Amino acid sequence: MASLFSKKIEDLKGIGAKRAEQFHNLGIYSVGQLLRYYPRNYEDWSTPTPISEAPFGENVCIKAFIGSPFSVNFAKGSKKLICKTMAYDSTGAVTLLYFNNRYISQMIKTDKEYFFYGKITNTLNGLQMIAPTFQETEKGASIHPIYHLTAGLANRFVADAVRQSIELLPSKINDPLPLWVRDKYNLQSLDFAIRKIHFPADHDELFMARRRLVFEELLILNLGIKFLKKNKKEENGIILEKNYMNDFLSCLPYNLTNAQKRAIDDCINDMLNKNSPMNRLVQGDVGSGKTAVACAVCHTVIKNGYQCAFMAPTEILAQQHYESISKILEGTGINVGLLTGSMTPKNKKTVREQLARGEIQLIIGTHALLTKDTCFKNLALAVTDEQHRFGVSQRSELLLKGHHPHILVMSATPIPRTLGLIIYGDLDISIIDELPPGRQEIDTLLIDSSKRNRALGFIRKNVDEGRQCYIVCPLVEEGENTPEGVISAEDYAQMLMMNDIFRDVPIGVLHGKMKSADKEKVMTAFKDRELMVLVSTTVIEVGVDVPNANIIMIENAERFGLSQLHQLRGRVGRGSEKSYCILVSDSDYPDTKKRLETMKRTSNGFEIADEDLKLRGPGDFFGEKQHGLPEMKIADLSKMEDVAETQCCAEEILSESPLLDGEEYKGIRGEIKQLFSRVNGDSLN
């Protein structure tokens, strides 16, 4: 089939330059790509409905005779051509209408039987079907493919082009899946799958074709990701000599929870005992105290004479970790440094020099840590916080900075299990399933804007009692047409300042477009309680920690993903005060309501994340396509069983041929390259 990827779409009959352009709009340039352009849906013509039983207004297929020739007339006073005839079966009759189609009377012939597919409506003149699609019954009943289309390109053109392409398939096509895999997992050949995914004769064929293609796609994804990660486990790690955890405990103003202790033990044991580098994910819901865990682990590594790097996804977070970790480690003799993109070149240079000389033992930073000119003296541990923000490839870049350093990945729970299985497939996992003592359940309220003033009054009351509040607005681009009813953080803050209730309350604004230094100033003022209300975009979403804040009000809550709302909600409930999350939304879409109700129902990050994935699909899951996963054509990443099954298979294949260099895996290697070239050009060689 490989040759068809170099055969241009223009080589098909009936496709000229203009039509080809339309196919290009769909990302289809070659015949091979067209064959891999799977239908988004199907029309079922295989089980026609008797006319008398057809439900009105829904798509149905009927099997009917044409009783009389078409009558062809112009509509009164217009140039609209109306072609009309009658179709009947043993149960009833329906009028067929086609507009402005001069050829229809030659295409549909009297006394012949056809399948017609479309909606039946009940009118004053009896049952009626407007412009149904049709096919002679002699050609057999079948299931018709429906494709994603683009302007000017009708479904039947795509279907037609696919039909031609299928005829070009060589009699024997190379199947990327080796025979043993197909046998073991009961999968059809690629040849079968490609033909039948477009034109299945019945539901069984469609099911089998689909199963094979889903399996293939997920298998390739799993193998590709395992390949990206493959270097890690083969190497020897740096082995630590001593556990300094007990010394560390005296640095903290509180006692660690048992779950935190377990996670720290897991990590340190990995580095004391194992030959291969640690490769561990610490997962804990928002507020479970992951920072202290990372800090404890770094402490022991550094006391053993090595350096650590701690990478955060945003400048604010890096800054915050820098401050809180410096404080915890005060008096331990550990030198903590900060490296972020917004620092002056001179400061960056100084920090990098200190790092290279080993004078800084713990460096905290953003992506700036990944650039070529950052060098370490002896990096032994790389920690990444809020991991789901980083792409798979960025994660491996930190690895190159040391001699196979240990890896500690920290993440709040909103990674659905299925995605986690793929992204973190080969990591050991520690789960922090306990919150620090004294935390209270956060009350989540869902209101519409008519109750906003009452909510603001409630906020004012809390401010008077000394507590602080976040108000979150959706991100709106400056200068873009603001969607109706959506207000930017800046405008919102202006509005509050003019509001009588808030006249004497110090209000701050925080959004992504601000300079880093300004953002820091605002955050610091909020932490120091100089600002009591912070109006913000989602820049505060990840990890920001101000325990005195006990209310978060989220405007236009319908515009946020569930996992995002969960993260935002995690900004409160960090102190001992009763905390509230107020979701404001005027949306009355049932789906949206259902989504927001989930937030009221549960505070379990896993549950929320799974729900989110189901509702929004993985592409949207992290807000942006930052998870680094390629887009799936047919597989559904929220289907746990499919993912798990292919994960098993990927392991079997790799244990058989760790480098996939056997002849029978040539096809798979090619597919992996192709899939990942669509993401970020990662080299898999």
Q: How far is the CB of 260 from ligand ADP (least distance, A)?
A: 6
DSSP string, 622-676: TSSS-S-PPPPSS--TT-HHHHHHHHHHHHHHHHH-TT--SGGGHHHHHHHHHHH
Residue labelled with tokens 């069983």:
641
Q: How far is the CB of 334 from Mg ion (least distance, A)?
A: 20
Judged by CB, which is closer to ligand ADP: 51, or 542?
542
Q: How far is the CB of 284 from ligand ADP (least distance, A)?
A: 5
Judged by CB, which is closer to ligand ADP: 385, or 671?
385
* List of residues contacting ligand ADP (CB under 6 A): 254-257, 260, 284, 286-292, 412, 436, 543, 545, 547, 574
Strand 113-123 and strand 59-66: the pairing is antiparallel
* Interacting partner of 314 out of Mg ion, ligand ADP, none (Cβ under 5 to 8 A depending on kind): none
- Given a contact cutoff of 8 angstroms between Cβ atoms, the answer to whether 46 and 141 are in contact is yes
- Given a contact cutoff of 8 angstroms between Cβ atoms, the answer to whether 420 and 392 are in contact is no
Which pairs count as long-range contacts for 522-525, CB under 8 Å and 24+ apart, including other chains?
Answer: 523/316, 523/319, 523/320
C-alpha pair distances (Å), 402 with each of 224, 322, 356, 426, 643: 24, 21, 11, 20, 33
Q: How far is the CB of 292 from Mg ion (least distance, A)?
A: 10
* Interacting partner of 257 out of ligand ADP, Mg ion, none (Cβ under 5 to 8 A depending on kind): ligand ADP
* Interacting partner of 617 out of ligand ADP, Mg ion, none (Cβ under 5 to 8 A depending on kind): none
DSSP string, 282-309: EEE-TTS-HHHHHHHHHHHHHHTT-EEE
Judged by CB, which is closer to ligand ADP: 290, or 406?
290
Judged by CB, which is closer to ligand ADP: 132, or 573?
573
* Interacting partner of 436 out of Mg ion, ligand ADP, none (Cβ under 5 to 8 A depending on kind): ligand ADP
CA–CA separation, 464 and 468 (whole Å): 9
* List of residues contacting Mg ion (CB under 5 A): 543
Sequence-ordered alpha helix ranges (H) in 329-360: 345-357
Q: How far is the CB of 546 from ligand ADP (least distance, A)?
A: 9
Judged by CB, which is closer to ligand ADP: 291, or 430?
291
* Interacting partner of 645 out of Mg ion, ligand ADP, none (Cβ under 5 to 8 A depending on kind): none
Judged by CB, which is closer to ligand ADP: 316, or 653?
316
Q: How far is the CB of 447 from ligand ADP (least distance, A)?
A: 26
The tokens describing 537, both together, are 């975009």
Angle at 238 between CA 232 and CA 244, to 5 degrees: 125
State the residue number with the nearest CB to Mg ion.
543
- Given a contact cutoff of 8 angstroms between Cβ atoms, the answer to whether 52 and 92 are in contact is yes
- Given a contact cutoff of 8 angstroms between Cβ atoms, the answer to whether 663 and 211 are in contact is no
Q: How far is the CB of 119 from ligand ADP (least distance, A)?
A: 52
CA–CA separation, 534 and 496 (whole Å): 11
Judged by CB, which is closer to ligand ADP: 255, or 350?
255
Judged by CB, which is closer to ligand ADP: 211, or 261?
261
- Spell out the residues 6+ positions from residue 651 whose beta carbon is closer than 8 angstroms to its own: none
Judged by CB, which is closer to ligand ADP: 569, or 669?
569
Q: How far is the CB of 291 from ligand ADP (least distance, A)?
A: 3
Strand 113-123 and strand 81-89: the pairing is unpaired
Q: Which of 643, 633, 626, 647 is nearest to 675 (CA)?
A: 633
Polymer length in residues for the chain: 685
Q: How far is the CB of 387 from ligand ADP (least distance, A)?
A: 12
> Which segments of 521-577 are extended strands (E)?
533-536, 549-554
* Interacting partner of 288 out of Mg ion, ligand ADP, none (Cβ under 5 to 8 A depending on kind): ligand ADP
* Interacting partner of 311 out of ligand ADP, Mg ion, none (Cβ under 5 to 8 A depending on kind): none
Instruction: Give the residues across from 135 on adjacent strands.
Output: 115
Judged by CB, which is closer to ligand ADP: 218, or 294?
294
* Interacting partner of 574 out of Mg ion, ligand ADP, none (Cβ under 5 to 8 A depending on kind): ligand ADP
* Interacting partner of 566 out of Mg ion, ligand ADP, none (Cβ under 5 to 8 A depending on kind): none
Q: How far is the CB of 350 from ligand ADP (least distance, A)?
A: 29
* Interacting partner of 176 out of Mg ion, ligand ADP, none (Cβ under 5 to 8 A depending on kind): none
CA–CA separation, 265 and 297 (whole Å): 9
Q: How far is the CB of 486 from ligand ADP (least distance, A)?
A: 28
* Interacting partner of 254 out of ligand ADP, Mg ion, none (Cβ under 5 to 8 A depending on kind): ligand ADP
Per-position b or e across 394-414, b if 16+ CB within 10 A of its CB: bbebbbebbebbbbbbbbbbb
C-alpha pair distances (Å), 379 with each of 280, 345, 402, 677: 17, 23, 5, 31
Q: How far is the CB of 320 from Mg ion (least distance, A)?
A: 9
Q: How far is the CB of 294 from ligand ADP (least distance, A)?
A: 8
Residue labelled with tokens 């409905």:
49
Judged by CB, which is closer to ligand ADP: 187, or 410?
410
* Interacting partner of 292 out of ligand ADP, Mg ion, none (Cβ under 5 to 8 A depending on kind): ligand ADP
- Spell out the residues 6+ positions from residue 148 whose beta carbon is closer than 8 angstroms to its own: 26, 40
CA–CA separation, 117 and 44 (whole Å): 9
Q: How many CB atoms are located within 10 Å of the residue 452 CB?
A: 15
Q: What are phi and psi of 177, to 5 degrees?
A: -85, 120
State the residue number with the nearest CB to ligand ADP.
289
Q: How far is the CB of 259 from Mg ion (least distance, A)?
A: 15
Judged by CB, which is closer to Mg ion: 217, or 285?
285
Judged by CB, which is closer to ligand ADP: 348, or 571?
571
Judged by CB, which is closer to Mg ion: 221, or 542?
542
* Interacting partner of 545 out of ligand ADP, Mg ion, none (Cβ under 5 to 8 A depending on kind): ligand ADP
Judged by CB, which is closer to ligand ADP: 434, or 520?
434
Q: How far is the CB of 428 from Mg ion (least distance, A)?
A: 20
Q: What are phi and psi of 567, to 5 degrees?
A: -60, -45
